[in-house]
Structure 1
């Protein structure tokens, strides 16, 4: 009978692990989707339709002005959990028909400090002037780390024209790219390295926003939708590093605790042969708790996210198992005649150990990634 129980326990645990692997594989391999607020534009017609539908009318009746703008990203580096340094080249096309006093360049609202521009070239082409700059900027982003380490982020450059209060808008210079398919990573240097992240997509998009001010000028149409140009890099975290750095400690702790549970017994001679006493279990549990806490705090310090992370469930489970094993050691020595231990010693605890852990982790996974 004991053998059947062990086989059932093992099969159930392996079944939960297989289900867990299937869910996580599906999550990790799922296609990258832009943020729901983004309207991705890949053709000039899509740009024209969006701008026409969202550019607010001016009181003077004058047409809105648009500046074709392009980007080429050569560097993107996470300098903190919510800061990204981006560098590359920017260019704009200014038609001769535009006002002569129009400013040049871009304004990035989500920049920690406005970018440093260095002019690289200024050329005449037909009836327009092409101006190119190199730039470097540190962006402040709002990332969601709750699925860590299965998280995906979107690095966004929000771009306004410096004269936005004059209803001047930016349009992507899509004709400058050989392909505007987001999977082809238009505007990204082929040698770009993102360390712990993998590039999935790069694209231009628009979001409609409403400002609650006219910025002190009568020409800005407040309380109306305005098209805001975005250039985004969609990235996915590599799993190897966080799994090794953050996953090994709780897994080793859980395996160690299972070994202790298998040695716990009502039989005093058996306990003495293994040197297992409630006191020794408490000491080992405290040591494991300390190690798991250090690893957990290191993860929290790295990510600095509010709330419970997905991998944090593993740590919470480990804390509870440490407490449970210590309680198990005290009960089986202090109250060996409890119904839990009366007929089959500590067998029930051993049989339920891995099924409870794997079931809880599977439930946490489904709750985290359920759509």
Structure 2
């Protein structure tokens, strides 16, 4: 077997191995790990409230059912559905809302005046009264998009009790759902329109309030250590849509760039057949640069204000490849540096054979960093991305 065939055989084996490794990393990156803070049953709620050290004076069972949601702007998620609460006779008399009042607050609501929270039913029960409200509210939140298009979003409904002068803890109404285990999806309409998203998980959890004030109620220190009830529903982006929109053009441009590299030659007959010239290869790289630049600008506009995202790293890789191919072609054709044998050896064999292994190795490195080394984001209260997906 000739040296050229051995080099191309090694290149092909490395390409297949790295492609398989990249596929495995993509599968791992697209996998969602459950949140360890989720509360699957009443026992876990009792254990949490006992652990925080500040015992609530009242516990009000609260449930929620989501009918629809949509990303409506740069910092808004519009959610609609039903919220209900149980008030026991002789226990919650002092805090039970009268008709027209609401027994909870959605602190992240940004359109309180235009939003809807209206009572839709009030039912007597053997131990008290059940009150339900229909709500349509726009909530302000922040999501991490740095793993796009393998990102998962946790949209949460954050509850505060309606009373500030007493210690009230809202607890999940587990009895209203058929199953609330770590892998169960509950509290959200099965027919909800998700667009380019897929339902992944739902759960309740608590997060201690970060208030550094008693809100002027000097004797109510419970407000500075308030266990805020959160209902969370996790959604996963449909990878196929983002792959077609962004990755397919990048792959096509990479293949065209590889074709330009393969035309680099000094062999008689091939020069005329390939119509090879330094200016033609550099011209091709210039055209591809503007194609990639426009696609990059379009992607960046969709994530304005966000750090560099995973998909964006491949655009930087393409810039480096375009520059590398141009420099390689110039040095090969001009013979300005004859000592660079790695370029001149057997008609530019090594750069040609190393093209795909190098591209895939860079993609594997970028993916592995995002999967294993990148620090997970901390929950915020502001959105940095305004796409409607």
Deviations 1:160-209 (A, max 9, x none): 11213422221111111121124331211110121111111111111223
SS in 2 for 1:150: coil
Aligned to 1:132: 132
Question: Tell me, what secondary structure is at the counterpart of 2:129?
Answer: strand
Q: C-alpha separation between the residues in 2 aligned to 1:341 and 1:126?
A: 86
1:72/1:55 CA distance change after superposition, 3 Å: farther
Change (3 A) 1:260 1:318: same
Q: What TM-score do the two structures reach when normalised by structure 1?
A: 0.90
**Counterpart selection for 2:70 from 72, 77, 84:** 77
Change (3 A) 1:26 1:342: closer
Structure 2 match to 1:225: 225
Question: Which residue does 1:368 correspond to in 2?
Answer: 370
| Pairing 1:335-346 to 2, within 5 Å after superposition | 335=335, 337=338, 338-346=340-348
Aligned partner of residue 183 in structure 1, secondary structure: coil
| Runs of 4+ more than 6 Å apart | none
How many residue pairs get matched? 362
Equivalent residue for 1:307? 307
2:257 aligns with 257
Cα offsets for 1:105-143 (capped at 9, x unmatched): 321222333452122111211242211111111222221
Q: Residue in 1 aligned with 2:82?
A: 89
Aligned to 1:33: 34
- Alpha-carbon separation, structure 1, partners of 2:53 and 2:168: 10
* CA–CA separation in structure 2 for the residues paired with 1:33 and 1:182: 7
The structure-2 alpha-carbon separation of the partners of 1:230 and 1:343, relative to structure 1 and needing over 3 Å to count, comes to: closer
Q: How much has 1:308 moved relative to structure 2?
A: 1.9
Residue 31 of structure 1 deviates from its aligned partner by 4.5
TM-score (norm 2): 0.86
Contact 2:332/2:344 (CA < 8 Å) preserved in 1? Answer: no
Shift of 1:46: 2.1
Q: How does 1:57-68 map to 2 (within 5 A)?
A: 64-68=57-61
User: Which runs of structure 2 are paired with 1:182-197 in the superposition (5 Å)?
Assistant: 182-197=182-197
Unaligned ranges ≥5, structure 2? 374-389
Q: In structure 2, how many angstroms separate the alpha carbons of the residues matched to 1:218 and 1:167? A: 13
Question: Are the counterparts in 1 of residues 164 and 223 from structure 2 also a CA contact under 8 Å?
Answer: no
**Separation in structure 2 between the aligned mates of residue 199 and residue 248 of structure 1, nearest angstrom:** 25
Aligned to 1:117: 117
Q: What residue number does 1:24 align with?
A: 26
Higher relative contact order (CA 8 A, sep 6+): 2
Change beyond 3 A, Cα 1:238–1:82: farther
The 1:166/1:43 distance shift into structure 2, 3 A limit, reads same
**What secondary structure, in the 3-state scheme, does the structure 1 residue paired with 2:367 have?**
helix
- In 2, the alpha carbon distance for the partners of 1:198 and 1:283 equals 43
Distance 1:130 1:279, change over 3 A: same
With over 3 angstroms needed to count, the CA separation of the structure-2 counterparts of 1:101 and 1:361, relative to structure 1, is closer
Name the structure 2 match of 1:278: 278
Distance 1:269 1:121 in 2: 86
- Corresponding residue number in structure 2 for 1:45: 43
CA RMSD of aligned residues (A): 2.2
Deviation string for 1:9-56 (max 9, x for gaps)?
11111111111111222332x35311x5xx322222222222233362
Q: Say which SS state the counterpart of residue 72 (structure 2) adopts.
A: strand
Stretch deviating more after TM superposition (258-267 or 91-100): 91-100
Give the structure 1 partner of residue 52 of structure 2. 54
